[in-house]
């Protein structure tokens, strides 16, 4: 059964490497939501940048 009111966000599927919109896979495999397809395609890059920032904040706190 199709969702009558699907989430409008864009997601990156870490298992398949594909971008998904409207109909999505299991949430455990997804990063997002992102505002558009181009941003979702950069999901891994964005995650790396955020991890780097968090690691720097942790180091500065120590």
Rounded CA gap, 43 and 14, in Å? 9
pTM for the model: 0.79
Rounded CA gap, 5 and 53, in Å? 35
Residue 48 has a pLDDT of: 96
Which pair of tokens denotes residue 62?
């120590």
Condensed to tens digits (0 to 9), the pLDDT of residues 18-53 reads 999 998 899 999 999 999 999 999 999 999 999 999
* Contact status, residue 19 vs residue 42, Cβ threshold 8 Å: no
Condensed to tens digits (0 to 9), the pLDDT of residues 51-62 reads 999 999 989 987
Rounded CA gap, 12 and 47, in Å? 11
23 Cβ contact partners less than 8 Å away, ≥ 6 residues apart: 2, 3, 6
């Amino acid at each position: 059964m199709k969702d009558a009111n699907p989430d409008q966000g864009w997601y990156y599927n870490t298992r398949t490497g594909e971008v998904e919109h409207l109909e999505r896979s299991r949430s455990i495999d997804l990063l997002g939501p992102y505002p558009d397809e181009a941003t979702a395609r950069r999901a891994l890059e964005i995650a790396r940048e955020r991890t780097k920032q968090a690691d720097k904040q942790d180091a500065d706190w120590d």
